[in-house]
Amino acid sequence: MTDILRHRPGYALRRAANAMMAELARRLGTIDLRIAEASVLLLIDGRTDATASEIGRILDIQRANMVPLLNRLEEAGLIERRPIDGKSQAVLLTGAGRARRHEADAITTAFEEDLMARIAPGHRDHLVPALDALWGEAPQHEDHSHGDHSHEDNSHEDNSHAG
């Protein structure tokens, strides 16, 4: 019945990603973190100079979308914003943030192990390389029909998340 869908790489990819995301979101929910939030915690651990813009660039989260995300983390007492200069501010983990990061790390690591365990050994090692081949190469959006894009990096469409 759904075989028409099952062998379609695009559909399988979408669906697997969704199932994965839902499950990971559920698990991270137990420590009151969203996926994107956990990604940030994992990323800035050990750093004291990561700016919001930089985090956004790495995780492919728009500058604008970083704001409410960081606000939530700050309100939860997990991160702290410390001015670097008048314009930038470093985002760094608080004590509570480090503890939470630890939990998040345990959850995502365990999750990924569960994930890989579901895949037959013969296929297992090929998954990540295959996926990596798919993500980076935005296959030439020709023009975007903008014409200028003077400032603002003209990045692509992806996003963030740990997992």
Which positions touch its own copies (CB under 8 A)? 1-2, 4-24, 26, 35, 39, 42-43, 58-60, 108, 111-112, 114-116, 118-120, 122-124, 126-139, 141, 156-159, 161-163
For tokens 């099952």, what's the residue? Answer: 6
* Binding segment toward DNA, per CB under 7 A, in 41-49, 83-91, 92-100, 130-138: 83-91
The dihedral built from the CA positions of residue 28, 35, 113 and 13, taken in this order, carries a sign that is positive
> Residue 92 binds what, of its own copies, DNA, none (CB under 5 to 8 Å, by partner type)?
none
E strands in the chain = 79-83, 89-93
Binders of DNA in range 101-130 (CB under 7 A): none
Identify which of residues 39 and 79 has a Cβ nearer to its own copies in the complex. Answer: 39
Shortest separation between residue 46's beta carbon and DNA, angstroms: 18
Would you tell me how many other CB atoms lie within 10 Å of the CB of residue 35?
Answer: 19
Q: Judge whether 24 and 64 are in contact, CB under 8 Å.
A: no
Identify which of residues 101 and 111 has a Cβ nearer to its own copies in the complex. Answer: 111
Count of residues in the chain: 163
